[in-house]
């Protein structure tokens, strides 16, 4: 899945300071409340098993990627949700692969090729940011990974992209 979010420039100063294990624990701790809402809306519950690939931010290319292993409802099957975010001057290009955990090695093998297929045109790249005229996103690198967790905390209203 490919999408673009015109959210503004995402600051990356926090990229090296994030405790992703703590973030994962917080995401898992918020599941019960979120699953009540999902059930009310007619969707199956979601359980985040953990990181399939820990978040990694390539500061040179302004690309963030991570993967979560997820279980839906009472299913024994584990789903892989691999996320890539390419940061630009005015927003984020999102690439998302959904599959099985057995596909993780194949996806990881091809991620370097995939992330360089898409790029921002001249004037729209991350390095073209102009603080005097450009909008800054309401979240940073940590917010991209945490998604709905931050919305729950009242900081932003991001949708956690999970296919059901």
Kindly list the domain boundaries of the chain, sorted by start residue.
2-152
| Residue 42 CB contacts under 8 Å (≥ 6 apart), including other chains | none
Per residue in 121-153, pLDDT (tens digit) is 999 999 999 999 999 998 899 888 887 544 444
Question: Each residue of 37-90: pLDDT tens digit?
Answer: 888 888 889 999 999 999 999 999 999 999 999 999 888 889 999 999 999 999
Sign (positive/negative) of CA torsion 47, 82, 152, 140? positive
d(CA 107, CA 53): 11
């Amino acid at each position: 899945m490919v999408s673009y979010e015109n959210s503004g420039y995402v600051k990356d100063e926090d990229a090296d300071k994030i405790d992703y294990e703590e973030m994962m624990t917080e995401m898992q701790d918020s599941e019960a409340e979120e699953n009540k809402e999902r059930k009310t809306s007619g969707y199956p519950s979601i359980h985040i098993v953990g990181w399939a690939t820990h978040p990694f931010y390539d500061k040179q290319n302004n690309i963030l990627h991570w993967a979560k292993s997820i279980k839906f409802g009472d299913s024994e099957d584990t789903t892989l949700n691999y996320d890539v975010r390419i940061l630009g001057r005015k927003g984020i290009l999102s690439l998302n692969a959904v599959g099985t955990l057995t596909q993780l090695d194949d996806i990881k093998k091809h991620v370097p090729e995939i992330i360089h297929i898409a790029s921002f045109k001249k004037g729209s790249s991350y390095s073209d940011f102009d603080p005097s005229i450009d909008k800054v996103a309401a979240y940073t690198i940590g917010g991209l990974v945490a998604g709905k967790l931050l919305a729950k905390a009242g900081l932003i209203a991001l949708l956690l992209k999970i296919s059901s």
